[in-house]
Structures are given as structure tokens and as C-alpha cells.
Copies of this chain bind each other. A is one copy, B any other.
Amino acid sequence: MAAESPEQPERISEAEHAVMEALWQRAPLTASEVCQQVCDARGWSLATVKTLLSRLVAKQAVETAPDGKRFLYSPRIARQDYVGTESRRLVDRLFGGRAAPLFAHLAEADALTEEDIAEIEALLQELKS
């Protein structure tokens, strides 16, 4: 029975998330490659990326595979899942778990493009079928 997989995934911080994004986009990557993807944008040094990668490994969000002398890093959790739990968390915290108010907010804040609206409409159609 799957033993006990507490599997309560440790929370990923914002800086760590930036690293995850790099890995989700392309993996496996070496630490240096990750740095190439994110260091400029965030003004980080390679050392910082290394720390973040270690922490992600500790949190079991990333796994390593030896490649000669160095390691290759790959995500262990799917972006889908991360994004899902984070969205859910927000909806729960701010809107009592209801998605409609969130949507209303985005609408009111003009955060919806024409495209968004069209896509959402299409999705609604699917849901109703």
C-alpha cells in the first residue's frame, strides 16, 4: 500500500521556483547551464544557483544524475502539480476556495486580454459539454 509516502512536498520558495522554471523548460541541465538561464535575469552568481539546487534536491523537488564528474539536474515534480497546488493555495487563502471571485477580480483589474476571454469562453463550452 505504497508504504507511507508522506509526500507532503516541502514548500518551494520563490527563488527556488525560478530555478525550477529553468529546469522545466529544459532538462537535464548542469548547474552552470541553469545559471546561464537565470543568473542574468535575477542578478545571481553561480554560487547562489548551486545553493538553490542543493536545497531543491534536499526538498526532493529535483534529482541528480551523475554525468562523468558532474551532475545533471532534473525536476522531480511536474510543473503541472506545482502550479496546481500554488493556485489552489491562493484561491483557498484569498477567496475561500471559490474560483469565481478570483476571476471577477482579474476581470475588474483589466488583467484579462481579449485572448484570455476567448480562451476561457472556449473552455467553458468544453466544461458544459
Contact = CB atoms under 8 A, between A and B. Distances in A.
Interface in A92-118: 93-95, 97-100, 102-109, 111-113, 115-117
Determine how many copies of this chain the complex contains: 2
Given A112-B99, A116-B100, A117-B128, A123 B107 contact: yes
A62 interface: no
A127 interface: yes
Interface string A41-54: 00000000000000
Interface residues of A, number: 37
Contacts of A112: 99, 127
Given A17-B93, A121-B124, A123-B107, A116 B87 contact: no
Interface string A21-52: 00000000000000000000000000000000
A83 interface: yes
12 contacts: A84-B105, A84-B109, A86-B94, A91-B106, A99-B111, A100-B119, A100-B120, A103-B103, A103-B123, A104-B123, A107-B127, A124-B124
